[in-house]
Every structure is written in C-alpha cells, then in structure tokens.
C-alpha cells in the first residue's frame, strides 16, 4: 500500500481540564493513494471532529490532545500536518487537501455568481494565473462537475441544492488537491442526487488521481462507492475493512447494526432493525467496550476491558481490523 495520509493515535478534546470531553479517542487510520475511504458512524460518533482535527480546522474549544497526522506528497518529504506554520497550513488546506464540510453548499455567497466565486478561489491561490486563464479554468471546472454552460453565470439561489453541492466540489478540486475530504455533503439532498454526486466524484478521482475521505452515516452509499470503510463509535474506530468484505461479513456487532439499518442493495430483502439504545454520553463513557450496553452479543470481558483495534488472529492481512472481544486480535500493534 501507498499511504497519502496517516493519522496516528489522534485524540481530540472539547474543553480543557476536568471540563474536557474526549470526542475522538486514539484514532489511527491510513488513507491510501487513489482510494475512496468511507467513514461511517451514528450522529455524535466523532466523524466531523476527526476531519476538523486532522486538518486543524477545529473550532474552539476543540483541541488535538494527542497524535500525529502525516501527509505524504507525491515524490516529496513527509509533512507533519499538526506542526505546520500558518502559511504551510494554508497551502496544505487548498493545494494538497480540500474539504467540503457539512452544509458547505449554504456557504456560497448569495450575491456573487458561482463562476465568480470559483474565479476568486483561483485568484487567491494562484496569483500568477492570468485573468483569462482563471475564467477559462473556472468554466471548465464547473462543466466538469456537471453544471451546464447556461448555468455558469447563475447565482447560488438560482441553483438546486444538488447543483450548489456540485459547485462546492468544483471549488474543492480547483487547485487539483491530492486529498478530498467530504463530510456528509449530501445529507440535505435526496438519495438519487447523493448517488449522482458521489458517482461523479469517483469518476473525477480516476481522472485526476486524488484520494477521498468520505464521511456519512449512510453506509449503503459507502458500500457502493468506497474501496474501504472505517466504522466509528464513541470516538473510536471499531472496525475497518474493504467495502465488499464489510458488507458481506462484518465482524463488529455495531457494524452489523449499522448495516441492518438500511435496505439491502441487492439480494433478498432484509429486515430493518436499526440499533436499540442511544450513542454513549461522552461525559460518562461506559466502561470496557463502550458499545456493551447496546450490544446483543456482550459477554464477560466486555464491560471491563477496552478491546483494542487490530487484525483478528484467524484472518489474513492488515486490511481488516476490529475492536471486539468476539475476535481476539493477533497483535495490538498491527
Ligand atoms: P454527525 O453525524 O451528527 O455529524 P459526528 O459523528 O460528526 O456526528 P461530531 O460532530 O464530531 O460527531 O461530534 C462528536 C462529539 O463531540 C459529540 O458528542 C458532540 O456533542 C461533541 N462536540 C462537537 N462539537 C462540540 C463542541 N464545540 N463543544 C463540545 N462538544 C462538542
Ligand atoms: Fe459487543 Fe463485547 Fe464486542 Fe463490545 S466487545 S462489540 S460488547 S461483543
Ligand atoms: Mg458530523
């Protein structure tokens, strides 16, 4: 494997001292070059916090309290993201990593044409580019994300939610980043539109050779469009596996629950059961496995000892990891 981004032991707290709650707990996750990695989990599991933390966009009182984030530029020296200078960080955020956050489509400025806003992004980050070249590039980007010629000069309110989301993707791709992070860009959109946008992103990835971290609670989208999936619960990654493997044979009872919370893509219809109970309270996390109060398979060790994420002893390869006492791991450092 060829990593483009490595998150190592990342923890994120909101607040300081005894007021602090830990929203991301010791997360290690690798994004490989050219892959689409999906991150799923219920509301409050820490998905957005992880994305904000690794790009250093955490709003106060959020602080990264432990861990490292390493970016591997193609052919260059590894970059320690968490110790970048402000100037280095600006560069990293647009030129290397681009982020489309939850509700980003509503952040378009209502008084400017979408093409103008895209031209502004190019102007701010590529000052050497001629005016004419910027205009041409903006039109090309908008066409690339499926905005037809006659909508290029539209104002945001003249576009549908799906169109505005496409504009955001166009902006995210403007500087040809190596990593695109999308945090539930599609929750407000209907399912058909979500699929179209994701498919487009996956197609663009093939042409422009970037990696995607895609965050959502719609696991069915991830099964369809991502290469690998990581599942988050109570601030931790509890399982990660290739998408098809996770769909066929998930190991963590929480992943099972999430998978059964949406209709089967193909094959026989399954009952939608959802997961009883509610996500853990960060201020008083359950002991041991934080899922144990909701887990249908909990047994003796579960309420006592925290299961560590690792490759189960009976499985091959490092691609599969799980944190559950049902699947004792080979080596916690794996
Ligand atoms: P969703 O699917 O709803 O977007 P999420 O997985 O992105 O959820 P986060 O937004 O990362 O979850 O939140 C993780 C936890 O951190 C939640 O328990 C949330 O209440 C808490 N949290 C988020 N922002 C703050 C904040 N500014 N101050 C205190 N706690 C916060
Ligand atoms: Fe359930 Fe125990 Fe596995 Fe946690 S460790 S998911 S409680 S079986
Ligand atoms: Mg979120």
Q: For residue range 42-93, what is the model confidence (pLDDT) as tens digits?
A: 889 999 999 999 999 899 999 999 999 999 998 889 999 999 999 999 888 8
Q: What is the pLDDT of residue 315?
A: 78
| 163 three-class SS | helix
Looking at all shown ligands, the one closest to residue 239's CA atom is 2
Q: What is the Å distance from ligand 2's center to 237 Cα? A: 13
Q: What share of the chain has pLDDT > 90, as a percent? A: 58
Mean pLDDT of 114-118: 92
Region 21-48: mean pLDDT is: 95
* 179-183 and 211-216 strand pairing: parallel
- CA torsion through residues 232, 236, 237, 238, sign: negative
Q: Which atom of ligand 2 is nearest to the CA of 303?
A: 7
Distance between Cα 187 and ligand 3 center (Å): 10
pLDDT at 334: 42
Pull the structure tokens for residue 30: 């690798």
Q: Is the CB of residue 324 below 6 angstroms from any atom belonging to ligand 2?
A: yes
Name the average pLDDT for the chain: 88
DSSP state of 100: E
Q: Which of 19, 44, 47, 101 has most ligand 1 atoms within 8 Å of its beta carbon, as the pocket-test mutant? A: 44
CATH number of 3-111+155-322: 3.40.50.300
Closest-lying ligand to the alpha carbon of 322?
A: 2
Q: Which residue has the higher pLDDT, 143 or 253?
A: 253
Owner of token pair 């934080």: 290
Domains of the chain: which residue ranges?
A: 3-111+155-322
pLDDT of residue 218: 79
pTM to 2 decimal places = 0.91
| Tens-digit pLDDT profile for residues 241-296 | 999 999 999 999 999 999 887 655 555 555 556 788 889 999 999 999 999 999 99
Instruction: Find the 218 Cα to ligand 3 centroid distance in Å.
Output: 12
Residues with CB under 5 A from ligand 3 (ion): 47-48
CA separation for the pair 165, 149 (Å, rounded): 17
The stretches of 58-190 forming alpha helices (DSSP H) are 86-91, 114-125, 131-144, 161-173
Using N-to-C axis directions, what is the helix angle for 131-144 and 161-173, rounded to 10°? 130
Does 12 or 202 have the greater pLDDT score?
12
């Amino acid at each position: 494997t060829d990593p483009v981004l490595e998150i190592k032991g990342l923890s994120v707290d909101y607040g300081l001292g005894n007021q602090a709650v830990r929203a991301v707990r010791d997360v290690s996750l690798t994004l490989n070059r050219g892959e689409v990695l999906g991150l799923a989990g219920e509301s409050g599991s820490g998905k957005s916090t992880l994305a904000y933390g690794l790009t250093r966009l955490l709003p106060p009182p959020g602080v990264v309290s432990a861990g490292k984030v390493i970016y591997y530029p193609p052919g260059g020296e590894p970059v320690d993201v968490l110790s970048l200078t402000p100037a280095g960080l600006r560069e990293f955020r647009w030129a290397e990593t681009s982020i489309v956050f939850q509700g980003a489509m509503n952040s378009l400025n209502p008084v400017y044409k979408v093409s103008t806003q895209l031209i502004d992004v190019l102007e701010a980050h590529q000052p050497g580019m001629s005016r004419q070249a910027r205009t041409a590039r903006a039109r090309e980007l908008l066409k690339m994300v499926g905005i037809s010629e006659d909508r290029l000069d539209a104002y945001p309110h003249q576009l549908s939610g799906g169109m505005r989301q496409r504009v955001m993707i166009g902006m995210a791709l403007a500087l040809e980043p190596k990593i695109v992070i999308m945090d539930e860009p599609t929750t407000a959109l209907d399912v058909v539109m979500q699929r179209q946008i994701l498919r487009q992103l996956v197609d663009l990835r093939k042409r422009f050779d970037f990696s995607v971290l895609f965050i959502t609670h719609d696991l069915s989208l991830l099964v369809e469009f991502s290469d690998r999936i990581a599942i988050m619960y109570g601030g931790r990654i509890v399982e990660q596996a290739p998408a098809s493997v996770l769909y066929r044979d998930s190991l963590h009872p929480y992943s099972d629950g999430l998978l059964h919370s949406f209709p089967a893509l193909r094959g026989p219809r399954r009952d939608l059961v959802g997961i009883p109970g509610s996500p853990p309270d960060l201020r008083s996390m359950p002991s041991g496995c934080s899922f144990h109060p909701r887990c249908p398979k909990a047994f003796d060790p579960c309420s006592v000892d925290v299961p560590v994420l690792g490759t189960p002893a009976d499985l091959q390869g490092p691609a599969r990891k799980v944190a559950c006492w049902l699947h004792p791991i080979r080596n916690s450092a794996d």
